[in-house]
Amino acid sequence: MTAALEMAAIEGGYEPGLPILRGASLSVAPGEIVALLGPNGAGKSTLVKAAAGLVPVWSGRVMLGGRDITGLAAHRMVHEGLGFVPQTENVFANLSVLENLQLASALVARKRRLDLGRMFELFPDLDRQRKLEAGRLSGGQRQMLAVARALVASPSVLMLDEPSAGLSPKLVGVVFERLKAVRDTGVTILLVEQNVKAALAIADRAVVLVEGRERLEGPAAELVNDPRMAALYLGAAA
Amino acid sequence: MLQLVADGLVVGSVIALGAVGLTLTYSILRFANFGQGEFMTWGAYFAVSTLAFVLAVTGGGVMEPLGPFSFGWQLIVAMLLAAALTAILALVVDWLLFRRLRRGNAITLVIASFGAALALRNLVQFLYGTLPEYYSREIQIAIRLVPRDVMGGLRVTPDQMLVIGLTLVLMLALQWLLTRTTLGRAMRATAMNPALARVAGVDVEGVIRATWVIGAALAAIAGVFVGITLQIRPMLGFDLLLPLFAAAILGGIGSVRGAVVGGYIVGLAESLSVPLVGAEYRAATAFAVLIGILLLRPNGLFGARA
Amino acid sequence: MEILPVLNYLAFFMVFAGIFAVMALGLNLQWGFTGLFNVGVAGFVAVGAYASAILTGPPEPERFGGFGLPILVGWLGAMLLSGVAAFVVAVAALRLREDYLAITTFGIAVVIQLVATNAQGLTGGPFGIQSIPRPFVEALGTGFVWNLAYLGLVALVLGLAWWALERLVASPWGRVLRAIREDELAAASLGKRAAAFRLQSFVIGCMLMGLAGALYAHFVGYIAPEDFLPILTFQIWAMLIVGGSGNNAGAVLGAFLVWAIWSVSGNLIREVLPAAEQARGAALQVVLIGVMIAAILVLRPRGILGERATVSRHAGKD
């Protein structure tokens, strides 16, 4: 079966000569939630940004549902069906909640567009705040809007960069529950997380990245108690 | 007194139109474009050429005034053509120069725009000479709206009223574009956060092109307005650059509403300062406004972000 | 062909190039070493020229000034007054985003131009100030020898400015300046002191421009508003960009090179074009220089000499 998203031997970085990704590979099957884990500075964020077209890929391949999308401009990725939610500043603070969603929806082809009404059903909190400037939303609501904004373009794969950052444990639970619901509508999810416990709780599988390469991967349930996990995190810290 | 207010509103309209373009390019391309004034000059001169062209094509070569105005319908057509040509000019300058410098330091773009402005200004001088030009030699009779014994009285020409009216219509249209259309929302989104805009599917280079087109077209129309109400000179836009910057910063960079309000405030301040400092120093008023706003409220009247 | 007119012209050319080099050094301190964008060079030069002319000139019934003070006092006054103008601008704009300084310096140059043109009681208005004293003219006359003597004076000032700037840039003060420019983190950690460093650099640069203005005034003996149009600012920028900013040798080299290009192309226009077309030709000359600046920015952004590698450019990049 074709992977929903596959990255093969990716090398890349912001500045020539200073590689951050050193041959990273990973594969996400359709309908999966995969957690991308690893110590600080391992290149997790850089890898999803490279896939999204925000960081130059020097070599390697990014395949989306069997199509080669390596090196496409970031805005083209959306039309191909790859959604990305950045970690910070992930909503347009000067636009209203409704405008955030209208913009995202209007930019993709009509057949890709998801009905905004259905989006508000999925995120009832946002429904009540339609007219509010997104910059005035609470942290949790902002994260919901960021996810909703990406979903409006009905991506086949959604990548999220640390959606739990800055949220209270209770809110993390709420956001992650919502991500499961999103997966249940048929969207494949790749989740970059610092919060290992919460991520493994909802993920089907996990990949651990260290120094720009994948070092460990397996079913989430098995990795929870895997001593090699702790070793990789500690090894990087030492 | 009333007369000064009316004059200020006419000048303010021109400044507002130019400042709106300036604030748009400033917030979306992220640099202070010293070439914005030259788009006004080029717009005004393009209209001289397109007017001659339209008159030649429609036969006769003379312009029959339209109603109470000093010009005929041919100038309206010429103005639209000039706006289109100025937009193309802006796109060419962007393609040749600014596009290649976008990845570098923002201040390099400012230097580049400074150089481009000087080249553009002198190219106009080279092509059209330094003598003032006019679209029409018709003498217009000013309409007395307020008798002389009430606050000094008020006389306005139909041309001046049209300039103020058209400016307001254009500004409402722009406001509609920015808030109600996908392009407008994409422009505001890009101004706020270019990286997120790309992730959300916005073609940022396309937004930049649209911004040049809108900013240059509005500047060209403002230049034609100067030509209608005063005269066309190679220094037309350069002399307005300081008021343009003062208006854009007064209103808060990125705020279209702010640039319009700022434009009228600067226009009125210039006009009302004439009895105090003399006509020769009216340009210094814009500088005083600029220094004042920088010291007191550097984010401008409508600017929220630090 | 007589040799003396050629030598005389050469001395003339060198004096102007040297004066421009002093301005370019001032701009290099601001832009090259501190990253401050000054679009008002012509304004600060004008302040210096007028200040020295007013302080040292003979009394005129219609005009303020004409104090007949020694020329050296005039030069010091020129530096002082340009420094004050720079201080006012810097206080308003330096703490804000960097292009606000560009806009503010542009504005003050416009206002200075207005004052020069209109404040007849101070500046002589459009006719400017005449009979500005020339140093040693009693002893040397106004011929070639005097030109040569003034060239020596300009060379001395340029040398002093160069020496002082090199010392300054190599000092701890200069290293802090570059750290501020290169690394926002360093600038942020210095906080208010970073602003003070920027202010000092800006004021010193403008004082050099004022001094250059005074050098110009006492060489030509006559100044008028049209000597200080925005084109002057543009020429100095062209010199710095062509030579390579962040490098004093580059600034001086650029001054001589661009002034040579400018003079030659100007002479060519005067020779080739009929009198009626001269104005248009001059406009085209400016267009070509503008295109040159743009081309260098795009193709060779570090100029001919470029910056000496004194600080690592990749320090502290996450």
Q: What is the pLDDT of residue A100?
A: 93
Q: What is the residue whose two structure tokens read 């009302």?
A: B272
Average pLDDT in the C132-156 region? 83
Q: What is the percentage of chain C residues whose pLDDT exceeds 70?
A: 92
**Which of B 158-197 lie inside 8 A of C, CB atoms?**
none
Average pLDDT in the A3-31 region? 88
Q: What is the pLDDT of residue A42?
A: 84
ipTM computed for the complex: 0.87
CA distance A58 to C154: 54
Chain C residues touching residue A18 (CB < 8 angstroms): 314, 317
The answer to whether B115 contacts C298, with C-beta atoms less than 8 Å apart, is no
Residue C194 has pLDDT above 80, yes or no: no
pLDDT level of residue C293 (50, 70, 90 thresholds): confident
Chain B residues touching residue A79 (CB < 8 angstroms): 201
Q: What is the pLDDT of residue B283?
A: 84
Top mean pLDDT of A16-20, A177-181, C96-100 is at A177-181
- Please tell me which of the candidates B100, B107, B295 has its beta carbon nearest to residue C298: B100
Q: Which of B204, B149, B142, B207 is nearest to B10 (CA)?
A: B142
pLDDT level of residue C128 (50, 70, 90 thresholds): confident
Interface contact C280, partner B, CB < 8 A: yes
Average pLDDT in the A74-98 region? 91
Q: What does R_g of chain B's alpha carbons equal in angstroms?
A: 19
Residue C312 has pLDDT above 50, yes or no: no
Average pLDDT in the C80-101 region? 86
The nearest CA of chain B is from the CA of C270 a distance in Å of 15
**A70 three-state secondary structure:** coil
Q: What is the pLDDT of residue B205?
A: 92
Interface contact C313, partner A, CB < 8 A: no
Q: Where are the domains of chain C?
A: 11-226
- Please tell me which of the candidates C100, C118, C294 has its beta carbon nearest to residue B294: C100
Residue C60 has pLDDT above 90, yes or no: no
The nearest CA of chain C is from the CA of A173 a distance in Å of 31
Per-residue pLDDT of chain B (306 residues; tens, 9 = 90+): 788 888 899 999 999 999 999 999 999 998 889 999 999 999 999 999 999 898 888 877 777 777 788 888 889 999 999 999 999 999 999 999 998 888 777 778 888 898 899 899 999 998 988 888 888 877 777 777 787 777 777 888 888 889 999 999 999 999 999 999 999 999 999 999 999 999 999 999 999 999 999 999 999 999 999 999 888 999 999 999 999 999 999 998 888 899 999 999 999 999 999 888 888 888 899 999 998 888 888 888 876 543
Q: What is the pLDDT of residue C316?
A: 33
Chain B residues touching residue C234 (CB < 8 angstroms): 114-115, 118
Of the two residues C2 and C11, the one the predictor is more confident about is C11
Of the two residues C314 and A132, the one the predictor is more confident about is A132
- Count interface pairs A-B at CB distance under 8 A: 69
The answer to whether B188 contacts A92, with C-beta atoms less than 8 Å apart, is yes
Interface contact B210, partner A, CB < 8 A: no
The answer to whether A78 contacts B196, with C-beta atoms less than 8 Å apart, is no
The total domain count for chain A is 1
pLDDT digits (tens, 9 = 90+) for C7-28: 888 888 999 999 999 999 999 9
DSSP string of chain B, one letter each residue: -HHHHHHHHHHHHHHHHHHHHHHHHHHHH-S--TTHHHHHHHHHHHHHHHHHHHHHHTSSS-----TTSSS-HHHHHHHHHHHHHHHHHHHHHIIIIIHHHTTS-HHHHHHHHHHHHHHHHHHHHHHH-SS-B-S--PPPPPEEEE-TTTTT-EEE-HHHHHHHHHHHHHHHHHHHHHHHSHHHHHHHHHHH-HHHHHHTT--HHHHHHHHHHHHHHHHHHHHHHHHHHS-B-TTHHHHHHHHHHHHHHHH-TT-HHHHHHHHHHHHHHHHHHHHHH-GGGHHHHHHHHHHHHHHH-TT-SS----
Of the two residues C264 and C2, the one the predictor is more confident about is C264
pLDDT digits (tens, 9 = 90+) for C159-171: 999 999 999 888 8
Q: What is the pLDDT of residue C309?
A: 45
Residue A168: both structure tokens together: 């209270």
The nearest CA of chain A is from the CA of B207 a distance in Å of 12
Interface contact B245, partner C, CB < 8 A: yes
List C-alpha distances in Å: A11 to A7, A40, A61, B97. Answer: 10, 18, 9, 32
Residue C271 has pLDDT above 70, yes or no: yes
The answer to whether B189 contacts A73, with C-beta atoms less than 8 Å apart, is no
pLDDT digits (tens, 9 = 90+) for C182-193: 766 666 666 667
pLDDT level of residue C46 (50, 70, 90 thresholds): very high
CA distance A205 to A214: 13
Chain C residues touching residue B101 (CB < 8 angstroms): 297-298
pLDDT digits (tens, 9 = 90+) for B136-152: 877 777 777 787 777 77
pLDDT level of residue C279 (50, 70, 90 thresholds): confident
Chain B residues touching residue A150 (CB < 8 angstroms): 200
The answer to whether B298 contacts C100, with C-beta atoms less than 8 Å apart, is yes
pLDDT digits (tens, 9 = 90+) for A35-48: 998 888 888 899 99
Top mean pLDDT of A32-46, A107-121, A169-183, C208-222 is at C208-222
pLDDT level of residue C63 (50, 70, 90 thresholds): confident
Q: Which domain holds residue A185?
A: 5-237
Q: What is the pLDDT of residue C9?
A: 85
The answer to whether B287 contacts C107, with C-beta atoms less than 8 Å apart, is yes
The nearest CA of chain C is from the CA of B278 a distance in Å of 10
Interface contact C184, partner B, CB < 8 A: no
**Which of C 67-86 lie inside 8 A of A, CB atoms?**
none
The nearest CA of chain C is from the CA of B25 a distance in Å of 14
Q: What is the pLDDT of residue A18?
A: 84
The nearest CA of chain A is from the CA of B153 a distance in Å of 44
Residue A86 has pLDDT above 80, yes or no: yes
Q: What is the pLDDT of residue A196?
A: 85
Q: What is the pLDDT of residue C314?
A: 36
Interface contact C262, partner B, CB < 8 A: no
Here the CATH number for the domain that contains residue A112 is: 3.40.50.300
Chain C residues touching residue B34 (CB < 8 angstroms): 39, 102, 106
- All domains of chain B in start order, with CATH: 2-295 (1.10.3470)
Q: What is the pLDDT of residue B110?
A: 85
pLDDT digits (tens, 9 = 90+) for A90-126: 999 989 999 999 999 888 877 777 788 888 888 888 8
Interface contact B191, partner A, CB < 8 A: yes
